[in-house]
A and B are shown apart, each in its own frame.
Chain A
Amino acid sequence: MIAIVDYGVGNLFSLSSSLRALGMETEVTRDAGRLRSAGKIILPGVGAFGDAREKLDGTGLVPILREEAARKPLLGICLGMQLLFDRGFEYGEHPGLGLVPGQVVSLREDLEDRTLKVPHMGWNSLDIVRDDPLFKYFRDGEYVYYVHSFYARDCGASTLGVSRYGNVAVTGAVRNGNVWGAQFHPEKSGDAGLRLLRAFAEL
């Protein structure tokens, strides 16, 4: 079973239905026992970093997530990925979960071309920089769907894939041990996204 962490952030409809469409058993839950018995965990999220971190803290699940991430695959999506890093700088500085090295910073501040629009919203191609089982059914350069204004930087060797936006290489996918992250929305990235989720489910 794949547990989707329910901490009151974002719409989980399409994530659940995409996993169901792949024939995967899923459960949207905030129950520590269910996260412990799950085969894999997905940490979703839409919104602002600090607010999401507070809500996640409010569930009391942070220690459980840390423990479980050491023994089973965990995938953070969008803001859920951003929370995996050391720190986030959206409306002030906030601590992340520290499961993947890196920090989450303003895309606008790093873009040299001021005419580029922020949020970075729409389809961008994902260039694979390090091969990984997550890309088992995915081809280098396929398009994925992004919606975000902050992005992860200084991720070092954890970076699996990037998307070019102006002068910035937007961190699209990361991995550190059992922990994966996708800045884009695989559940909204058509067939390519479903294939990534299938590869994650098969890990």
Chain B
Amino acid sequence: MLARRIIPCLDVRDGRVVKGTNFQGLRDMADPVDLAKFYNESGADELVFYDITASAEGRSLFTDILRRVAGEIFIPLTVGGGIRTLEDFDRVLKCGADKVSVNSGAIADPGLIAAGARKYGDQCVVLSMDVKRVDGQFRLFAKGGREDTGIDAMEWAVRGAAAGAGEIVLNSIDTDGVKQGFDLEMLDELAGRVSVPIIASGGAGRMEDFAELFTHPGVDAGLAASIFHTRQVEISALKAYLKELGVPMRTQVRPS
């Protein structure tokens, strides 16, 4: 049976992981390579890297980090942030990314999803969307959640999946950072509309939030950043807990 996935997300700016990191025992708690290795050993099923750098210098630092991580971590890597063209796809795939996450770039150029899927396959294109309730509608936001596009988010998701997005990351702006649980209502709505895997993002605060998330059959994975970085929730403990509850989880078997 296919396991549900637990995915830590690393926001990287100027070569460093941002968002409260509070690691002990690591050589450098904000070093993305160290953090990636730590997550790999903790049993993370996948890693997501977002490049939130604005400068060209930061971008080249990011690709360098990506190459180092991909050379040492052998689980799927998704990369997003500033993906606007097929050349951007190419740049991160050459550094070892397996999937490319598009967000504002696809809003600016809706043809980007289809072009990426045609060239690299559906499995390579992840549509990431920031969504907020506005006037009783699930509204798509751009530019890191700062700009209301006026677009119906559910229709956007349906179009994205039809164009070839192989997975959708749904980040609820309404629950993001609140740590009161995932936005189950929004996720259920999406699960009823698309048949591609759905990754839930925004709102995880405790292990119980993941347990509740995975009672929803349409959700494939849970993504979080700060609760993992601060070790408020340990991935290894979280997976053991979920497995105990009967959620199918990949557990690491280390032969003696």
Contact = CB atoms under 8 A, between A and B. Distances in A.
Contacts of A46: 121, 123
Contact of A122 (B5, B70, B253): B5
B74 A193 contact: yes
Q: In terms of DSSP, what is the predominant structure of the interface of chain B?
A: loop
Given A13-B94, A192-B253, A122 B74 contact: no
Looking at B122, B123, B197, B221, the one whose CB has the most chain A CB atoms below 10 A away is B123
Interface residues of B, number: 34
Query: Which secondary structure characterizes the binding site on chain A?
Result: mixed
Interface residues of A, number: 37
A117 B197 contact: yes
A178 to B, nearest CB: 25
A183 interface: no
A122 B197 contact: yes
B76 interface: yes
Nearest to A186: B74
Contacts of B98: 11, 14, 188
A175 B206 CA distance: 45
B255 interface: yes
A191 to B, nearest CB: 7
15 contacts: A11-B96, A13-B96, A14-B70, A17-B71, A18-B74, A21-B71, A119-B123, A121-B123, A122-B220, A142-B253, A188-B74, A188-B98, A189-B74, A190-B74, A192-B252
Given A119-B166, A120-B2, A195-B255, 11 more contacts: A11-B98, A13-B93, A17-B96, A121-B197, A123-B45, A123-B250, A142-B253, A147-B123, A165-B1, A188-B74, A191-B252
